[in-house]
Structure 1
Amino acid sequence: MIQFNHLRSHTIPTMQATVDEYVEPASGAVHIHVATTQPDLAFLVGFPTVPDTSDGRAHILEHLALCGSGRYPVRDPFFSMLRRSTATFMNAMTYADRTVYPFASTDRTDFFNLLDVYLDAAFFPNLDYLNFLQEGWRHTLEEGKLGYQGVVFNEMKGAFADPMRALYNGIGAAMLPDTTYEVISGGDPLDIPALTHQMLKDFHASHYHPSQAVFMTAGPIDPRDIQRHIADKVLARLPGGTPRRVPQLAKPFVAPRDHAIRIPSQSGKPDEYGFQLTWLMGESADAFVHYHANLLSAGLLGDASAPLKKAMESAGFGRPSRLNGHDPSARQMLFHVGMEGLTEDQLPAARTRMWDALEYAAQHGVPHDMLAAALRDIRYSQRDTASGRMPNVLGRMLHALPVAMRGGDVMTAFDSDSVLAQLEQDIADPAFFKGLVKDMLASPSRLEVTVVPDPAYFSGRAAQEEAALAAREAALTEKERTRILDDAAALDAHQRRVVDNSVLPRILPSDVGKEPRRLPDIPAAVDGAYRFDIASNGISYARVHYDVSDMPAEDWPWLQLYTDLRRDLGVAGMNYEQAGAWRQRMAATFGVNFDAIMRENGSMLLDVSFAASGLREEHQNLGDVLAAHIASPRFDEHERIAFLVERMVRNRINGLAQSGNRYAALTAAAPLSALRHIEDVASGTSVLPFMAQLQRMAHTPEGVAAIALRLSALHDRIVAGPASVLCAGAGDDANALAAAIRLPAATAQAAAPSIPTAVPAQPPANAALFAPGQVNHCSIAWPAPRQAHADAAPLAVAAELLTHQVLHQALREQGGAYGGSAGYAGNAGVFSMMSYRDPRLAGTYADFHAAIDKVLATDFTQEQIEEAIICVVRGLDRPDSPYDAVLAAWTLHRRGITMDVRRNFRHGVLHCTQDAIKAAVRTWLKDVRPSRAAFVGNTEQDLAGLDVVDMLALVS
């Protein structure tokens, strides 16, 4: 009988968890279990994947493993389980040196259903040739012309739009030669066509074995139950093994090296050069190496007063690079320091300025409070239960996995209290931090990089691709041409084949609860404060909301600017440097936000909120930070404002391509929805001319003074009204925190939420938003009813039916887009469809329209309807952390979404019928003129009648 041996156990009070480590002696398979009382049951299995080429084999294998396996020989069990499960998270990820398959669910039956599917997918995938052509890459012949297609191929074309990715990849290759980090694990589209199907199968055989696997689980579940599944379904069938793979170590440099790296340039301006210094440090799995690097980041770059950040921000030229700080993603820790936004002749001055600041830090050190705050932040993060796109415990598992895989002590990855206790003693000696900097400066393992902007980056890559295709086409034999056409026909038939998913387990609508999930009740306000008693794990949270619903549309982009800048400006008697250092010492988190909410009664609510959180012993600190930023702002630091505006605009320009999907979605929906209109005016395509205006103003003293005056007047109007205060913490902590918050008295009445639902009269969008890139993002939208309407539930189910039964096949499998989906947003009154990293445009819009007709013409099975229902319920039932649940309840309260509305919507979803779906689609989508917008990487393609909008022209 196969059994796992228990090696050790460690209780972590701050996590309210116990971590147990096991090993199966015959194979060496490792199992780490985190026992918690939280509802999420989480699982992952990770494999060291260490490719030596950039052909994307690890990434394509990740995709292909989820396309059918021995016990589940359906075409796409992963996407099928997305609609047959109530999982709170399902995914697979390829990193530079590992591939991970994680999921989480709150239902025990669902958890073991998914466990069976994931284990079979990882260890016994079919790795079908036709799926390789679909997910990886293939040749196409369109009108006799040779081309490339494939999901990963197009995904990576989109990924290469990010200048920081190009810089990061270049540094990794130069810093870590002769290791797996020298190549691009996700795949370079120029190299992906070198990968064959057999190479992929060989890679799986050599890397995916229990002897290489690390299993991690979490939740209120007996680990022995999971181990029995692993033993029966995997270990009994795959005996033996090989020594565990570990990423190679790069050799230390004998002397520092120089290197030049070309990155994509959107605007081709002369001030897009950069200079980077990168050091090779110790192994990142070593807790002390990790936290020493963390302290270097905090001490040198943590806030505006930190010596290196101060030197870069006050240079009078350039700005800090977006690639700065410690980087534990490789086996060896890297530390990055850099400036961007430079002209070529400013490069030597930038290098000198950074080096001088490092030498100053090595000689003078940094204040003890700065380092103590960094350790406090680490403790805060270990107590924090906040959930983002994945359950909190799963995020911790993903953080700990590389430590376990690289031979480190996995317990310190979950619990660093002993390491932090030692570091607290270390930082008490001023020589300690100085020594860290001196050691770094003395190290010969340093790379000095000149970052060169390349306006022809995309056209150059396209030319290389075209040249490779032309050479291949010229050499094509008739037999090879026939093979390409035969493969295309076989793949088309494969994709159109009706799939029998009956072999896959599933959750039925009758298996889920009939009532909406419970959220905290909104208590009566006492002295303007709403107090919430939550299981906060020793963290307290405060938010101060000001209603600004009466401010006109011309103020919306200014409100967004106000919230974007406030954190980086001074307060009270402190300049921005002093304020940054003070705030870092006082509070673990602080932020200012501008938000819009559409109410069910048709009005819009706009507010500006100030939020802070910290450990419970910091209540007075949180109150002081909030009071200073609300009562005593500074807008007289004109040079600082000019710098921040310039940085903001340049980052916006550099990010056009990688944010293209958001720009397209907002542009399409803005004419139809008051909420999306506000979001577009504040931060979408419509804000780009405002950004250009700001940049021009920031170039003159008079213009900067005008910006400062406008921000100051805006602040006075924001805080003139009464505030609503939310305080949350365990036991009496919320009351104590509320008592510590002292705000200025209101001088005006509360704003009336009077903005109507109707947006300014404007036709539906029809825009091709252009910025250089290699893929498209397509969006189309229709007006839709809000959540209380009888058609809301059928539209929500229709969106899932469209996504999984129509668009997935048309856009991803056949069209090659990385993603394609439909969505109903009751909070915005919009129904939409979109594609992401899409090689097509006209074909995609044809598929959008055809999808509506297909829904109306198809007689879907009851199982397909029920799967769509489960997809909606999964979103409704996704658990929140205690404080996230408070915010969710607060938002619903402000929207006017009562328990009755939630109950009726859920009932409508659970009892949705095919007739109701078709009636809603016919009413709201069929023959209704849609609004269309796409981000396009080039304008030479068929634009489907869209009008070109040059995004660079808008922001210049």
Structure 2
Amino acid sequence: MTVNELTAYEVLEHRRIDDLGTDSYILRHKKTGARVVLLPNEDENKVFYIGFRTPPTDSTGVAHIIEHTVLCGSKDFPVKDPFIELAKGSLNTFLNAMTYPDKTVYPVASCNDADFQNLMHVYLDAVFYPNIYNTDNIFKQEGWHYEMESADDDLKINGVVYNEMKGAYSSPDDILDKGIMNSLYPDNTYNIESGGDPDFIPDLTYEQYLDFHRRYYHPSNSYIYLYGNMDMAEKLTYIDEHYLSNFDYLEIDSSIKLQDPFKTQSVVHKDYSILKTDDLKDNTYLTMNWSVGTSLDRKLYVAFDVLDYCLVSAPGAVVKKALIDKGIGKDVYSEYENGVLQPFFSVIAKNANADQADLFKQTIMECLEKTVKEGLDKKALEAAINVDEFKYREADFGRFPKGLLYGLQVLDSWLYDDMKPFIHIEAGDTYKELREEVKGRYFEDLIQKYLIDNTHSSMFIMDPVKGLNEEKEAAKAAELQKYKESLSKDEIDEIVRKTIELKEYQEAPDSEEDLKKIPMLTRKDLRRSVEPYIYEEKKVGDNVLLFHDIFTNGIDYLNFVFRMEDVPYDLFIYSGILKSVLGLVNTKNYSYGDLYNEINMKTGGITASVGTYSDRRNLDNFATTFEITAKVLPSNIDNAFDLVSEIIRTSKIDDYKRMKEILDEKKSHMEVDLQTAGHRAAALRATSGFSKAGCVSENLSGISGYRLVQKYADNYDQAAHKELVEKLSELMKVLFRKENFLLSFTTDKNNYGEIEEKMASFAENLYTEECQKGHLEFAPVKKKEAFMTPGQVQYTALAGNFRKNGLEYTGALRVLQVMMGYDFLWNNIRVKGGAYGVMGGASPNGDSYFVTYRDPHLKRSLDVFHEVSDFVRNYEADERTLTGFVIGAIGELDTPKTPSAKGTYGLTAYMCHANLEKMQLHRDQMLDITVEDIRKLADYVDAFEADDSVCVVGTGEKIEQHKDLFDKIEEL
């Protein structure tokens, strides 16, 4: 049967989308009105989602809490956490759920047909028949609850979403994003915090929460999407017969109301927290924001992305340069949000001052008016369109299935017009139109209409307040104490009883009968053989060309690799700064702005990074590399070589003003990373206490790397400038030399062409000057450290190395990693502890760690880490449970790779001296693991935990409370 023959659905549109090489369907379920979009094609990475339009009316986070809780058991799958059972026992390539300002989406993806059907079944059952009506413990666990284990305890609030959003509200940049949207749309749903404001989450009652589900989680309010190589008619028949047909049509008003335009610009202030020792100076956020049409205007949707590039995002862009030149903010950037009905464009100056607000606005408006009068740089417009279209054509979303990204983009229009799901993913004609518009004044007219003349705008200003979060935490504790004092003994006993009841619910095992209802593959369904790497080692003169013959959809991927063995430590630590400088300063033939445009006109992007590769032959050794990657159409490959050569040979790093701007911006970006990804900083820092390889990463992108950037950015005078220029110049001379060079080239063999001649010519143009070579050596020092932030949550890491006890890496450790993340640590850190997440890892070189994410606790989490080995040593599980963890581990390994990722996989294998037989052994150890094998891993946990290398990034109050755990405490 074909889709057109289905009687339960009405086909509203069926046509070909040549841009994506796929047919497309728009359907309507006749009985319920459920909306359906299909994109059938040859992609084996199949995607399904069901979404709902969910506009909240308050900031209690009800939509977000529903998203978490419907995945905690359902009619067909009554276990407490089917999501986790799937995650650890599925070959999924994507499994998650997301809450947006006006919608909630439940997507899954898999290349395995049976697995895909299982995932679809569990998600459909979860949204339509969740267990949330059977017990309020699910709401308490994931949302919020009062907590006291005894009448003598302090009264506290706990819950996964509550702590997740405390983490989000600890990040000034997250607060900023929310505040900007609120300032533009005070009267519709975009004024509401759909994720939940921690101050209001405890106002949500269980009944209000259930009412929200009853109102919006109905087929008549649903959006169903299927993509990939499958029998679409079969899937739609299943969805109808098992779910949709069980419901009648329901009139649901979930429409998003438009905000009436402002008559005059609004000005909104909001406070945010900094440390008590931080300076109020240079810590204000200034923003100018404009509402820009609707997301149903397909041309405007892309055009403002182009303007974003030309006005602010590109280095040297006119508005950005004008603000930086006047000293307004140390980091100037823009944001264009087009995933809502009323998109908006923002110009942001970070690390500015409140008394600059008028000058900030004046400078922007004068710059815009001058730009309209004199016209935009045509090359900048062409570059912006080219880089956007390159990404669109390449459709490389890294580890995310492209069908998923298409599906989410579909909602940018489909959510607001049932017949316009494809206007943004079918963008070939849009780019063609915009290229024509470059010749005229279309873009200048947009600036005039939507920025200069548009009164629907706001100035949103975030003012720093010292110790604000500490004050709020103290006030909340006092409020809870006062509330406790107002309670009767019976009421206190009731909270204690419910706390114990919740813990009993969390600790109660699911029945074997219920667990078996979760569909699961078997070990026989898993591919036995390891994925081969693809590379051919060729000699070009004295250098190695690593060629990866892979079909790339007509794109060449180049990776210019420079080994760093001869770089002395005192120069190596500047590599992180160097990779942020290259491509962003003037060169011999280009200003930095023109260079950026040239890169984006001639290539799909050029980026620098530092890589670390453990030697699989001798795990005590590792190689560190500086890499410059470029992606390009074959017709432009000469331009890629020329531009990379121009950058590494003629970059003018002696421009004092430009270097200061780059350092200020890099410092700002690193601060955001430390605030939003504190778990990564903590794990890197803890690992660097004993691992040379860990020291490399920590010195570049961890706290040490941040301290180096901070040192220069905060005290950049002529002496500092001279020192930095000398260090970077010497580093480039030592690094970019022929003897260090290797080229990794990924493309179809038909595009191999004259790559060897181009490579040889490039190599001859590298540095040959005398330089002071050395040897890259690190001396790790074990430490127990804590870094205080103005946030409200902790990121706690414990790290060590198991190889020092003579233990050899085994593939079983990958299974243990999944087991920890979805069983013991998940249950104790997230489910019972209320942290948003917990993770761990074990590398072949022995480096291992556990780390928490947005965690309300500190010592409790460390205590849980130290209980792992006992759990592992006494581990008991049936074959089904263990197989689930095996499937989860193999699934992580077997995620489909994009063409560029396949090239990177080959390069990694070459640099690590990977051995297919050894890799096969590790895979076999995973596939054949037994309970006894798991128990043996307790020795590995004991061995790495014995190093006891600890790092915590968190609140001053918690760190001070447990200061005896640390050798060193400092403010981050």
TM-score range, shorter chain: over 0.9
Residue equivalent to 2:966? 947
Query: In the alignment, is the contact (CA less than 8 A) between 1:211 and 1:244 conserved in 2?
Result: no
Look up the equivalent residue of 2:932 and give its one-letter code: D
Look up the equivalent residue of 1:477 and give its one-letter code: S
Give CA deviations for 1:867-901 in whole Å, capped at 9, x if unaligned. 22222111121111122111112112211112111
CA distance in 1, matches of 2:940, 2:310: 60
For residues 354-373 of structure 1, the aligned pairs below 5 Å read 354-373=364-383
Give the Å deviation of 1:133: 0.8
Q: Is 2:506 aligned against 1:519?
A: no
CA distance in 2, matches of 1:755, 1:449: 47
Structure 1: gaps of 5 or more residues:
none
Residue equivalent to 1:92? 97
Give the Å deviation of 1:634: 1.6
Query: In the alignment, is the contact (CA less than 8 A) between 1:321 and 1:340 conserved in 2?
Result: yes
Query: In the alignment, is the contact (CA less than 8 A) between 1:273 and 1:451 conserved in 2?
Result: yes
Further displaced range: 901-910 or 566-575: 566-575
Query: In the alignment, is the contact (CA less than 8 A) between 1:770 and 1:949 conserved in 2?
Result: no
Residue equivalent to 2:250? 241
Give the Å deviation of 1:948: 6.4
Residue equivalent to 1:443? 454
Question: Cα distance 1:557–1:747, how it changes in 2: closer, same or farther (>3 A)?
Answer: closer
Query: In the alignment, is the contact (CA less than 8 A) between 1:305 and 1:581 conserved in 2?
Result: no
Question: Cα distance 1:774–1:302, how it changes in 2: closer, same or farther (>3 A)?
Answer: closer
Residue equivalent to 1:105? 110
Question: Cα distance 1:874–1:361, how it changes in 2: closer, same or farther (>3 A)?
Answer: same
Residue equivalent to 1:403? 413
Q: Is 2:56 aligned against 1:51?
A: yes
TM-score (norm 2): 0.93
CA distance in 2, matches of 1:654, 1:33: 39
Question: Cα distance 1:388–1:670, how it changes in 2: closer, same or farther (>3 A)?
Answer: same
Residue equivalent to 1:624? 642
Residue equivalent to 1:425? 436
Match of 1:585 among 598, 601, 614: 601
Give the Å deviation of 1:14: 4.2
Residue equivalent to 1:327? 337
Identity of aligned residues (%): 23
Question: Cα distance 1:470–1:217, how it changes in 2: closer, same or farther (>3 A)?
Answer: same
Query: In the alignment, is the contact (CA less than 8 A) between 1:630 and 1:743 conserved in 2?
Result: no
Report the secondary structure of 2:16's partner residue: strand
For residues 183-582 of structure 1, the aligned pairs below 5 Å read 183-243=192-252, 245-266=254-275, 267-322=278-333, 324-407=334-417, 409-429=420-440, 431-440=441-450, 441-500=452-511, 501-526=515-540, 528-582=544-598
Report the secondary structure of 1:67's partner residue: coil
Residue equivalent to 1:872? 889
Give CA deviations for 1:532-555 in whole Å, capped at 9, x if unaligned. 333222322211111112212222
CA distance in 1, matches of 2:780, 2:425: 54
CA distance in 2, matches of 1:162, 1:805: 29
Look up the equivalent residue of 2:640 and give its one-letter code: L
Further displaced range: 728-737 or 51-60: 728-737
Residue equivalent to 1:29? 34
CA distance in 1, matches of 2:280, 2:572: 29
Match of 2:138 among 119, 131, 139: 131
Report the secondary structure of 1:815's partner residue: coil
Look up the equivalent residue of 2:447 and give its one-letter code: V
Report the secondary structure of 2:690's partner residue: coil
Give the Å deviation of 1:320: 4.2
Query: In the alignment, is the contact (CA less than 8 A) between 2:183 and 2:460 conserved in 1?
Result: no
Question: Cα distance 1:753–1:876, how it changes in 2: closer, same or farther (>3 A)?
Answer: farther
Query: In the alignment, is the contact (CA less than 8 A) between 1:841 and 1:944 conserved in 2?
Result: no
Further displaced range: 301-310 or 178-187: 301-310
For residues 685-764 of structure 1, the aligned pairs below 5 Å read 685-698=703-716, 700-722=717-739, 723-735=741-753, 742-745=761-764, 760=779, 762-763=781-782
Match of 1:20 among 9, 16, 25: 25
Look up the equivalent residue of 2:143 and give its one-letter code: G
Query: In the alignment, is the contact (CA less than 8 A) between 2:215 and 2:252 conserved in 1?
Result: no
Query: In the alignment, is the contact (CA less than 8 A) between 2:287 and 2:459 conserved in 1?
Result: yes
Structure 2: gaps of 5 or more residues:
1-5
TM-score (norm 1): 0.94
CA distance in 2, matches of 1:252, 1:867: 54
Residue equivalent to 1:80? 85
Give the Å deviation of 1:2: 5.4
Report the secondary structure of 1:542's partner residue: strand
Report the secondary structure of 2:131's partner residue: coil
Residue equivalent to 2:954? 936
Question: Cα distance 1:821–1:516, how it changes in 2: closer, same or farther (>3 A)?
Answer: same
Residue equivalent to 1:140? 147
- CA root-mean-square deviation: 2.4
Report the secondary structure of 2:762's partner residue: coil
Further displaced range: 728-737 or 544-553: 728-737
How many residues were matched structurally? 945
CA distance in 1, matches of 2:365, 2:827: 54
Give the Å deviation of 1:187: 0.4
Question: Cα distance 1:825–1:17, how it changes in 2: closer, same or farther (>3 A)?
Answer: farther
Question: Cα distance 1:521–1:7, how it changes in 2: closer, same or farther (>3 A)?
Answer: farther
CA distance in 1, matches of 2:722, 2:809: 51
Residue equivalent to 1:679? 697
Query: In the alignment, is the contact (CA less than 8 A) between 1:328 and 1:334 conserved in 2?
Result: yes
Residue equivalent to 1:855? 872
Look up the equivalent residue of 1:597 and give its one-letter code: Y
Query: In the alignment, is the contact (CA less than 8 A) between 2:567 and 2:735 conserved in 1?
Result: no
Give the Å deviation of 1:790: 5.1
CA distance in 1, matches of 2:390, 2:545: 24
Give the Å deviation of 1:655: 4.7
Give CA deviations for 1:599-634 in whole Å, capped at 9, x if unaligned. 112322111111111334432322222221133222
Give CA deviations for 1:355-387 in whole Å, capped at 9, x if unaligned. 211111111121222212222222212222424
CA distance in 1, matches of 2:780, 2:28: 66
Q: Is 2:613 aligned against 1:597?
A: yes
CA distance in 2, matches of 1:484, 1:599: 56
Question: Cα distance 1:351–1:332, how it changes in 2: closer, same or farther (>3 A)?
Answer: same
Look up the equivalent residue of 2:99 and give its one-letter code: T
Query: In the alignment, is the contact (CA less than 8 A) between 2:807 and 2:940 conserved in 1?
Result: no
Question: Cα distance 1:340–1:821, how it changes in 2: closer, same or farther (>3 A)?
Answer: closer
Query: In the alignment, is the contact (CA less than 8 A) between 1:793 and 1:908 conserved in 2?
Result: yes
Give the Å deviation of 1:247: 1.7
Look up the equivalent residue of 2:280 and give its one-letter code: K
Match of 1:167 among 176, 190, 199: 176
Question: Cα distance 1:99–1:819, how it changes in 2: closer, same or farther (>3 A)?
Answer: same
For residues 644-683 of structure 1, the aligned pairs below 5 Å read 644-653=662-671, 655-683=673-701
Report the secondary structure of 2:578's partner residue: helix
Report the secondary structure of 1:775's partner residue: coil
CA distance in 1, matches of 2:472, 2:674: 19
Give the Å deviation of 1:840: 0.8
Give the Å deviation of 1:940: 4.4
CA distance in 2, matches of 1:339, 1:157: 25
Q: Is 2:854 aligned against 1:837?
A: yes
Give the Å deviation of 1:438: 1.0
CA distance in 2, matches of 1:543, 1:12: 33
Question: Cα distance 1:390–1:944, how it changes in 2: closer, same or farther (>3 A)?
Answer: farther
Give the Å deviation of 1:949: 4.3
CA distance in 1, matches of 2:746, 2:22: 22
CA distance in 1, matches of 2:14, 2:385: 25
Give the Å deviation of 1:152: 0.5
Give CA deviations for 1:440-462 in whole Å, capped at 9, x if unaligned. 20111111233312223312432
Question: Cα distance 1:468–1:178, how it changes in 2: closer, same or farther (>3 A)?
Answer: farther
Q: Is 2:86 aligned against 1:70?
A: no
Give the Å deviation of 1:393: 2.0
CA distance in 1, matches of 2:754, 2:173: 44
Report the secondary structure of 1:139's partner residue: strand
Further displaced range: 189-198 or 517-526: 517-526
Further displaced range: 69-78 or 488-497: 488-497
